[in-house]
Structure 1
């Protein structure tokens, strides 16, 4: 017989443990190390009871969530920055990003304190408790963009729809009062600071006008005298005019800058402490739904539907043309054919529309889902950014905040001082050029040039005064009566809650309750530490090495392929056993297990058959499990006097052995137990029995009782050449196998290795391959 596998994975030629002691455990951590494979083992073992129990717990959790669910309503107020102007555009400032610039004002105590102090709002469920009213107000208040930078949406959430709208309107009204107060203060301060400048420039204009009049009198009524040439005079006059205009513009710019710099401290918010930022609230993203109208429009735009409709229209036109021209009687057959074609075309159109409905519905739902995911991702990123900003602000102490505000204020003052110095320097340069040009003209123009300079200075002063007065007039003209922010839509009681059913809480609660049984099963499996595969078995370093893996024996007739894989795994086990340096010369083998149900009887019987077929010599299989024998049932033979009769001296070995299965395999059943197994099975009696059996048979294989349940198995294991420990995948416990190994070693047994049985045929074939081989027709049985 030829075999494809002379070894199994990494377990070929694994030496036995004769005369050696397994290493001591390195600690509980090594024995209890977590193996991810235990998750699959837990599911595989627990699902029959865990799934029904988990479903029941999930239903209870969902019921509790629904019973405790209180719907929340969100009322929204829509605001817009006022961009209107009467004549002068840009005079009054316009807020470019309301959601960013106005949020701090909404959360400031100067806006929220009047709301909290309003006794009419105490009926709102969120504000009924004075101790938690402020925290709830900040928590339920959300400020967001209204679709554009100039629009703002203020929302408030409460369990009472009427209270949600009432509180939302109260917050916005308080904000609008404060915003109008700030704007009025700003405009009043601006006008108040411009008045002294206007008065100063009025005096300047009056003085320069008097100087011009004096120079005119000295010049005898504007006599030009000995003046410079006309072309040079015009060129210098043009240059002087440009410099005069620049000087005037710079002085106006500097004056307005001084006014604005003096105005800024007056607009501080009363030195009030800026509170900690409210916790960032997640924006609820509602998933859109596909309307029937959208589906119909998409169906009408489908190419196949259009083509089918074109066919219907064509046949319909032909039929109408025949009817209008009264050709029905003359071409009746043709008319009926066209009518039939029209009906067929309508049926085709209906079919195409039905088919298109399925396609476009899926496509529209995909588009809606994609849009929902994108909007949700944007909302999550925005929330993460807000939370990060909130954490940074909360990390600052009050002293650090004041220090940061002081630094910012100093930086702003330095920036203003730097800007003012730049404007003064530019004014000085232009003024210097103007003075140089003036001296030049005075040098060549005499009294006329001086008069021209005086008139220019008067014109500059008059220009500055005119522009300052124009600024005041523009401010008074554009002064908004309806405020910098106006209402687009006040909050009204919402019709529907934010969520009719708490799907997220239901999903989390149900999922958590559903996995509880699996967690219990996982904890149990982690505690008992079942052996799940050969690699995990070897990694422990505490157990005998795996000598071979045996696939699961198919029940009944079973699959031919599964049975062939099982026989192949037994043959590989036999090859590893007899090719190993430590076990190649053994003749007697005991097959043991820790507990019952770990596959030792199947391994013993099939190993004996494999040894007999491979060597061509007779093998004796002994059923040494006197408490629960089953080898006679496996082979379908009579019990007879059996092993107990031979040990008790009531029968000879030849008389008790059943040789009805042929020359290669002889069976010695357990026999009827008439006395305690411990009296029958002793090291001396077993040693004598094995020696006598080896005189007749080449190999002896003994199936024993579980070691932890029957102590007599130790006597059998100590009397044979080698002992194989059977473990069953997902059944055997690591602690039991370890105890069995130590008992065998203490009894002097030679442990050849471990047989890992119960591996599925598919897994065995995947790991070691699966090949056919032919058997000769004349092979002995």
Structure 2
């Protein structure tokens, strides 16, 4: 009694908390119903006996329907090719490249398809007979594909009538060719109309520039431009003339300065007159040179950054002019606009560089003028100092000596002055003579001015543009095609054979789809009911008691010897796991329950009792607690007798009710005839007294119970024993039912030791746990 109570008290403390923890950590219902790919195999395994014949019947019906609705279709094809022929000028006329890619949109456009739909002769085609659906079918049946190369195109049309397919295909291509020729003619005509006024404008421009060159040549050279000397020679003479002109100017300035310094004679009468007799130019009287605008402009044009900016402007101007000359403006509109924008930016940058260069040139010219002013001022200061020194010396002499010395000095000064002046005048005459000779020679041989050079350059550019425009018109007129940019290689003819003689693809798809319908329904059902298929999926739920053992399927009838041996081995493994576990090693009373009937609890209970008796050598009492549908007496071939109902109703004692005909290892207590409600017979208190009485006689008691969800009295039995095993049948038990059973048992205070996963095939059991068999004597094996 004490031992039993200890077990009863321990089951709540040991088993209860883990179950509560599992419930607390259990996933939600949605997670519990997550799709497991294994369910597909389970569905096939369970459904194939009925799904295969049903699927085959549905597949046959689907194939019959497809064949009944099948109408053979014919595809007519038209082969086109890009016209690449030319007379002289290749690339003048447009050549369509990659026809399948560029022309597909034109074929699908309404400007090509509308004339086909409007043609009353094409209404005889089956696909175009209905005006409401004609356009949709026309677009659907029309296909554009490559003809093997980028320059070839295949136009195909599919219809149920072979003649109609060829007729509609030819009509579509004819409409396309008309539109293509119209586009090409319009482009060529527009190009010629645009070139004519341009040619006239450039002819007028060339004429005006020729007149301007002639006028400038007459003004600058005095004769025709064709008689001018070599350009390099002209530039050399221009440079020589400029150098002589610069030397003459410097010498004139020097001569004027000399005359200004030594113009007045020295006075002879007094110190004051002596000081006044040698007037000198004071530094304050010297004037700076004036910076001329022409010098500034020349300096700006010679600046390196300005020349680079001019080169950029000229390059963009050349690009734009080339685009306009080659008639690429409308074709490359974006590139043309970008070049114009770049030209504007380059011109703005040129102006900025000129402004910066102006500042630099003005600063440099100002520096040169200041340096010249500083030098002339230094000369004047030295002259003034020399005069003051002479005056001071003369003041120290006597008046007579000063007069004599002054006369000698004046004579010597005048003589030296005259000599120096004659030398400068002679040098000036020589330079002037050389300058006049170079100028006459330059005028004689006609050196070109910069303005004349620019005018000639503009004339060359205008003549080149006019030549290119005229050449473009001549090339277009020469290469104007009569057969268009796309030409016909092979027109469409009525096809001899349909696209497919039988709709094999549709047959396969329809039959396969119909065949899998039963399996899909079975899969939906299995996914909904959530059967337990293996121990791993059982443990993954987190809501069920852990699996303490897997039991192989009990072979029907005599069965094979190997399958029976595997079944007995699985029962022995279950018994070992149960009695070697820390939580259940002291268990003496065991209840075997299930959620619903047919889940293997009776087989597990009887075989577990036999295994316990054989392993311990103690007598085990097997009680059939399923009063509604008892079957333990049928398993062992025993009489019903008073059974459990007689003991619980006090109509019989335990010793009288137990059947001991099977020997000393196992005694069976059948259910007995049911004469009252099972709930009244099996109450928790009454059954606890029964278990206590049985354990006083037997070492172990194994009780087979009714399904928990169908019979509530099983909860009273489970609450009265030490441990409870929940039987789960592979591919039969529903997860939701097992969860509900587990929760009811825990709520009733039962100690759930674990789950027994039965119904595993002998092959699968051997694969999972090995097949280590052992030999027995023939007498024991039987």
Q: TM-score range by the shorter chain?
A: 0.5 to 0.7
Alignment of 1:72-87 (within 5 A): 72-87=73-88
Residue 682 of structure 1 pairs with residue 748 of structure 2: no
Partner residue, 1:534: 535
Residues 163 and 689 of structure 1: CA distance in aligned 2, closer, same or farther (over 3 Å): same
Helix, strand or coil: the match of 2:550? strand
Residue aligning to 1:576: 577
Within 5 Å, give how 1:725-740 maps onto structure 2.
Answer: 725-740=726-741
Determine which structure has greater relative contact order: mean sequence separation of CA pairs < 8 Å that are 6+ residues apart, divided by chain length. 1
Distance 1:483 1:772, change over 3 A: same
Structure 2 partner of 1:113: 114
User: Distance between the aligned counterparts of 1:575 and 1:443, measured in 2?
Assistant: 133
Q: Give the deviation of 1:720 after TM superposition.
A: 3.0
- Check 1:668–1:609 CA distance in 2 against 1; reply closer, same or farther (3 A cut): same
1:148 paired to 2:152: no
Larger Rg belongs to:
2
Residues 93, 476 of structure 2: 8 Å contact kept = yes
User: Which deviates more from structure 2 when the two are superposed, residues 193-202 or residues 718-727?
Assistant: 193-202
CA displacement at 1:587 relative to structure 2: 1.7
Which residue number in structure 1 is paired with residue 190 of structure 2? 189
Separation in structure 2 between the aligned mates of residue 144 and residue 491 of structure 1, nearest angstrom: 15
Of the three residues 323, 338, 345, the one matched with 1:257 is 323
The question of 1:506 aligning with 2:572 is answered no
Is the contact between residue 549 and residue 756 of structure 1 (CA under 8 Å) also seen in structure 2? yes
- d(CA) in 2 for partners of 1:145, 1:418: 41
Aligned-residue Cα RMSD (Å) equals: 4.8
Q: Which residue of 2 aligns with 1:157?
A: 158
Deviations 1:60-119 (A, max 9, x none): 122222322333333222111111112232332322222233233333333233223323
Report the CA distance between 1:680 and its aligned residue: 8.9
Look up the match of 2:253.
none
Q: Which moved more, 1:460-469 or 1:481-490?
A: 460-469
Name the residue aligned to 1:549: 550
**Structure 1 position 591 matched with structure 2 position 581:** no
* Superimposed CA distance per residue, residues 660-690 of structure 1 (whole angstroms, 9 cap, x where no aligned partner): 544333334445x273463994346644543
Separation in structure 2 between the aligned mates of residue 495 and residue 464 of structure 1, nearest angstrom: 59
Aligned match of 1:617 = 618
- In the other structure, the counterpart of 2:53 is 52
Report the counterpart of residue 429 of structure 2 in structure 1. none
Shift of 1:44: 1.3
Give the 3-state SS of the residue equivalent to 1:264 in structure 2.
Answer: coil
* Distance change in 2, residues 1:709/1:106 (3 Å): closer
C-alpha distance in structure 2 between counterparts of 1:441 and 1:59, whole Å:
114
| Counterpart in the other structure of 1:601 | 602
Question: Is the 2:316–2:342 contact (alpha carbons within 8 Å) kept by the matching residues of 1?
Answer: no
> Is this contact kept in 1: 2:718–2:750, CA < 8 A?
yes
In structure 2, the gaps of 5 or more residues are 1-11, 238-314, 349-437
Query: Secondary structure in 2 aligned to 1:752?
Result: strand
Name 1:525's counterpart in structure 2: 526
The change in CA–CA distance for 1:422 and 1:133 in structure 2 (over 3 A counts) is farther
Deviation at 1:698, TM superposition (A): 1.0
From the superposition, tell whether residues 455 and 63 of structure 1 become closer, same or farther in structure 2 (CA, over 3 Å).
Answer: same
Query: Which residue of the partner structure matches residue 36 of structure 1?
Result: 37
User: Which 10-residue stretch deviates more, 606-615 or 563-572?
Assistant: 563-572
Q: Distance in 2 between matches of 1:443 and 1:493?
A: 90
- Look up the match of 1:415: 338
Going from structure 1 to structure 2, the CA distance change for 1:655 and 1:168 (only over 3 Å counts) comes to same
For the structure 1 residues 158 and 622, does the alpha-carbon distance in structure 2 shift closer, same or farther, using more than 3 Å as the test?
same
Compared with structure 1, are the counterparts of its residues 459 and 529 closer, same or farther at alpha carbon in structure 2 (3 Å cutoff)? closer
> 1:217-256 alignment to 2 at 5 Å?
none
Q: Scaled by the length of structure 2, what TM-score is found?
A: 0.64
- Matches of 2:463 and 2:682 in 1, distance apart? 132
Within 2, Cα distance between the matches of 1:207 and 1:442?
Answer: 31
The answer to whether the Cα contact below 8 Å between 1:723 and 1:753 also exists between their aligned partners in 2 is: yes
Distance 1:610 1:521 in 2: 39
Distance apart, 1:497 and its partner CA: 3.1
Q: Could you tell me how far apart the structure 2 residues matched to 1:34 and 1:223 are? A: 98
- Three-state SS of the structure 2 residue aligned to 1:517 is helix
**How has the CA–CA distance of structure 1 residues 256 and 660 changed in structure 2, closer, same or farther, with 3 Å as cutoff?**
same
Please report how far the alpha carbon of residue 48 of structure 1 lies from its aligned counterpart in structure 2 after TM superposition.
Answer: 0.5
Are the counterparts in 1 of residues 58 and 514 from structure 2 also a CA contact under 8 Å? yes
Q: Which residue of 2 aligns with 1:168?
A: 169
Query: Cα offset for 1:50?
Result: 0.8
